Amino acid sequence: MKLVTYSELKTPLRTRPALLWGEWILDIHDLPRVSTPLGIRTPRPITTLSENASSTLDVLAKGPRVLDDIQKLSWRIFNRIDPEKIPRMMKKLSNVRIRPPISRPPTIRDFYAFEDHVRAARSRRGLQMPEEWYEFPAFYYSNPTMLYGQEDEVPYPSYTKALDYELEVACIIGKGGTNIREEEAETHIAGYTIMNDWSARDIQQSEMKIGLGPAKAKDFATSLGPWIVTPDELQDKKSAPGKFDLRMKATVNGKQLSDGNMKSMHWTFSQMIARASQSVEINESWRGVRLGHSRVRITSRAWTRGSRMARARRPHRVGSRTVRGLEEQNYRDRKLVEPVELAKLSATGKTSSEAPHAVQEARRVIIPRGNLRDRSLLRSLLDPLSRVRSN
């Protein structure tokens, strides 16, 4: 099942939660209206939810049992609908605007999960791997108020000349708890999505010397989406508890800069959840949702190479990022010539630690509509990334 937040083109400020099926969107509000003519009974909790839910957060807050009921109901609905007689209240994906799946999560925790990435990032600063990194999954808090979705314009920070992307996968916590055990943690995950943790590398380099962690370097923007994919959609790609065989790639100007696989995570989401919930209650009092996420960016020699690209002021940089099973993100900068994919995460391929970042010098970041050519990928997500352009 895929949960999406959308707005209609004529009412862009009014967002609604919905289900995505292929190229069609079914608003949560319309579930009873669609199921009844098909002879399908709508469970009372879903009827109540359809009358009151105004966001995907409201849907997730109802907990795993209601989500399971929605999933079963959606399967029955979409399997009974005549493709030649689509109900008029259903909307085509191309006719709506996709928004961030969750606009105001209570918290965002960003974990350091990939050993190759951490080792490469530290080596650029002449640092060895700390022994403590292997003792527990470390995280920092990101800014939950600065989220962007597809085709949103993301202001370029005035204080940086080294804007960089990060290819990440996020998990959304749907069931609360305290001191959650690692072996039970996966039952608390409502779904997964793609994230781009925009970063100001020049600012980050200075901040990290202080020893407190990134702050203004990562305070200004996070791209999230395009939608939430529930765990059942990814079971055939599961390689181990908490790990999925999903390839991740990033290209810039047709040149591949990042290549990795989600299964190479050293710390799993289950371990991250267990760590984050130690002596901390994450439950319905926070509306049942948390963004705990793992950096799934696979990078090396990124910042220095990206800085040279920025100084050179290349006029037409284009890029793409993909996580197969979590889809694709695109961006371009400067004069907005031909759009390019920014990263594709496919389900096969080797992992490489040679995956540098692309640093853009531009004024605006635009997150385009996703590519639906290969729907088999969308056991995954679509793309939250972007194109970058100058004012």
Region of poorest pLDDT, from 4-8, 264-268, 301-305: 301-305
Residues 6 or more apart whose Cβ sits within 8 Å of residue 126: none
- The C-alpha angle 100, 106, 112, rounded to 5 degrees, equals 80
Q: Residue 387: is its pLDDT beyond 60?
A: no
pLDDT at 196 over 90: no
Provide the token pair at 16: 């609604």
What band does 372 get if pLDDT is binned at 50, 70 and 90? Answer: very low
| Degrees to nearest 5, angle at CA 198 with 122 and 380 | 100
Per residue in 168-189, pLDDT tens? Answer: 888 998 888 999 999 999 999 9
Q: How many CB atoms lie within 10 A of CB 366?
A: 22
260-292 pLDDT, tens digit per residue, is 888 888 999 999 999 999 999 875 433 323 333
Q: Is the peptide bond before 356 cis (omega within 30 degrees of 0)?
A: no
Amino acid in position 12 = P
CA distance 165 to 199: 6
Cβ atoms 179, 279 nearer than 8 A: yes
Q: Alpha carbon 350 to chain centroid distance?
A: 22
pTM for the whole structure? 0.77
What angle, 0 to 180 degrees and rounded to 10, lies between the N-to-C axes of helices 64-80 and 44-52? 90
Contact 8, 29 (CB under 8 A): no
Is 236 exposed, middle or buried (CB count within 10 Å of its CB: 0-12, 13-18, 19+)?
exposed
pLDDT in tens, 87-118: 999 999 999 999 999 888 888 899 988 888 78
The alpha-carbon radius of gyration of the chain (Å, integer) is 20
- For residues 168 and 357, is the Cβ–Cβ distance under 8 A? no
For residue 320, what pLDDT is reported? 56
Pick from 39-48, 172-181, 223-232, 370-379 the range whose average pLDDT is largest.
Answer: 39-48
- How far is CA 142 from each of CA 93, 199, 291, rounded to the nearest angstrom? 30, 11, 10
**Helices in 87-159 by DSSP H: which ranges?**
115-124
Least confident interval from 107-121, 156-170, 287-301, 316-330 = 287-301
- Residue 322 DSSP one-character state: E
Report the pLDDT averaged over residues 330-352. Answer: 32
Confidence band for 321, pLDDT divided at 50, 70 and 90 = low
The mean pLDDT of 381-387, rounded to a whole number, is 37
- 1 Cβ partners below 8 Å, 6+ apart? 19, 67, 70, 71, 74, 229, 230, 232, 233
pLDDT at 325: 66
Average pLDDT estimate for 231-255: 83
Q: Which of 187, 96, 100 is nearest to 150 (CA)?
A: 100
What residue ranges define each of the domains in the chain, with the CATH number in brackets? 2-98 (2.30.30.230), 100-389 (3.90.850.10)
